[in-house]
């Protein structure tokens, strides 16, 4: 039997790690397949908190599938090739479990594809457990709960689906935690930015998007003090410019998200600033502007940028 690698996107967040870990366990227990959850980067501080809390070892980091002797992979929490493993075009995609838009995606063979407009890939994985009747171990329930909390900012994000609160309550019960108390502690664990260099800060949670021929990088950091991050604007901008030069990004958009008040500051540099301003109907002053009520890159930033760049 061939082995499957299961992984989320590059610069993995909590949902990417949790959903891949949960789906790999389901592959093994429900269908008897040889599946290993791996990661396309080192877990961030929020995810490290989660893994430590539930006593789970971090998935090992891999750079390519072929070097692992694997020909089949399963993607969770992403489907766009530029966000995936380096040799994604050289292996067979056996399945996709995702909650994002579908773009830049095609396969030579049929596959299992489950893409749903819910708050997290972890939400989808949880429903698959219920459908198969497999008992959910406490630690996996905790990981899936954490993935949902992370991607919906404790159910406050507009990406939260109507079904997600019930899923969160059920997972919290299985994981043996208080949803609000654990969720807030988890989110705060990911807001310690002072110890990170500007280069690390802009790469904590960053994804690339192909927008009408432009390679646009959209990054997000969570904080409890936007001004504290903006105080480092000069060094952050230098890091952004270096990243643009090294990777060919036409534009770089950084969301600085206040998780307590559910707002964001947008810091943007690039050759299409006019399109970025038009996307959000604001004017950048000193390269940044306030975006009230914005906490979701997936729903409140990328669709607006896509529409503006396509005009």
Q: Is 151 annotated as a binding residue?
A: yes
Q: Is 274 annotated as a binding-site member?
A: no
CA-nearest of 281, 272, 285 to 300 is 281
For residues 208 and 215, the answer to whether their CB atoms sit within 8 Å is: yes
The Cβ of residue 220 has, within 10 Å, a number of other Cβ atoms equal to 21
Report whether 99 belongs to an annotated binding site.
yes
List Cα–Cα distances, 134 to 145, 217, 255, in angstroms. Answer: 17, 39, 38
Distance in angstroms (rounded) separating the CA atoms of residues 15 and 144: 7
Q: Is 100 annotated as a binding residue?
A: no
Q: Is 9 annotated as a binding residue?
A: yes
Could you give the CA distance from residue 38 to residue 161 in angstroms, rounded to a whole number?
A: 27
Distance of CA 184 to the CA centre of its chain: 18
Which residues participate in the annotated binding site? 9, 13, 15, 77, 99, 151
Which residues participate in the annotated binding site for Mn(2+)? 9, 13, 15, 77, 99, 151
């Amino acid at each position: 039997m061939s082995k499957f690698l299961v992984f989320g996107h590059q610069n993995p967040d909590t949902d990417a790690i949790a959903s891949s870990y949960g789906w790999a366990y389901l592959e093994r227990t429900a269908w008897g397949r040889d599946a290993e959850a791996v990661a396309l980067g080192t877990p961030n501080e929020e995810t490290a908190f989660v893994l430590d809390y539930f006593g789970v070892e971090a998935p090992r980091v891999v750079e390519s599938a072929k070097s692992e002797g694997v020909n089949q992979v399963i993607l969770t929490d992403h489907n766009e090739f530029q966000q995936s493993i380096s040799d994604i075009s050289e292996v067979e995609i056996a399945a996709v479990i995702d909650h994002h838009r579908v773009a830049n995606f095609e396969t030579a063979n049929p596959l299992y594809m489950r893409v749903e407009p819910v708050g997290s890939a972890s939400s989808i994985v949880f429903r698959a457990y219920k459908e198969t009747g497999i008992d959910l171990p406490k630690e996996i329930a905790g990981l899936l709960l954490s993935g949902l909390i992370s991607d919906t900012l404790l159910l406050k994000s507009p990406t939260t689906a109507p079904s997600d609160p019930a899923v969160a309550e059920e997972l919290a019960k299985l994981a043996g935690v208080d949803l609000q108390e654990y969720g807030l502690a988890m989110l705060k664990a990911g807001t310690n930015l002072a110890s990170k260099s500007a280069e690390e800060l802009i790469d904590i949670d960053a994804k690339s998007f192909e927008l009408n021929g432009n390679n646009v990088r959209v990054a997000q950091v969570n904080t409890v003090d936007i001004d504290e991050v903006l105080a480092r604007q000069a060094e952050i901008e230098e890091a952004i410019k270096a990243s643009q030069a090294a990777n060919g990004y036409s534009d770089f958009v950084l969301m600085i998200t206040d998780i307590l008040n559910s707002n964001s500051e947008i810091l943007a540099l690039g050759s299409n600033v006019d399109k970025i301003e038009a996307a959000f109907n604001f004017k950048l002053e000193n390269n940044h502007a306030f975006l009230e009520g914005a906490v979701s890159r997936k729903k409140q930033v990328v669709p607006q940028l896509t529409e503006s760049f396509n005009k």
